[in-house]
Amino acid sequence: MTDIIDPRHEALVEHLFQRALQVLEMPGFELRPMRRRTRGEGRLRSVVYGYTRLDRKLITVDLYTPRTMKARKIDAILRVIAHELAHHQKPPRVYRQWFRLVRMIHHPPFWTQYRRNVASMQKDGILGTYFSPLTPGI
């Protein structure tokens, strides 16, 4: 069984990802759809929507829901892309707590950058149409 369920959905997400890179002025990133070993089987309580590799400029996003294999909404995918790009804009901080080094991934300046990314996507003419009108402008 092939893991690509809707090639049109994946092509649309790739096009919107390239547009988001233009809006946020961050060229050179690669989008990879998340591929699971067994879709729709086993333990399906995964809450990972996406992850990034800081050294490779690679972003992996889950385009389908794990249990029902329906395509995720474009609004949710764009917010995950904004989140993962914010990791590259505001990298993790390392601080010392007693005798240990602690890596803080989601620190307050990171969330500020995420909100800026979502706001700039909402202001864009192409990407702004995919955000639902009921969500407040962040």
pLDDT above 90 for 24: yes
- Tell me the pLDDT tens digit for each residue of 114-134: 999 999 999 999 999 999 776
pLDDT above 60 for 137: no
pLDDT above 70 for 14: yes
Pairing type for strands 93-97 and 100-104 reads: antiparallel
CATH number assigned to the domain with residue range 7-40+48-130, chosen from the 4 options 2.102.10, 3.30.2010, 2.20.28, 3.40.50: 3.30.2010
Q: Based on the number of CB atoms within 10 Å of its own CB, is 99 exposed (0-12), middle (13-18) or buried (19 or more)?
A: exposed
Judged by phi (left if over 0) then psi (alpha if -120 to 50, else beta), residue 36 lies in: beta
Residue extents of the structural domains in the chain: 7-40+48-130
Q: Quickly list DSSP for 66-113.
A: TTT-PBPPHHHHHHHHHHHHHHHHSPPEEEEETTEEEEESS-HHHHHH
- Tell me the pLDDT tens digit for each residue of 59-112: 999 998 877 778 999 999 999 999 999 999 999 999 998 999 999 999 999 999
The identity of residue 37, as a single letter, is R
* Chain centroid to CA 17: 9
pLDDT above 70 for 45: no
Tell me the pTM.
0.87
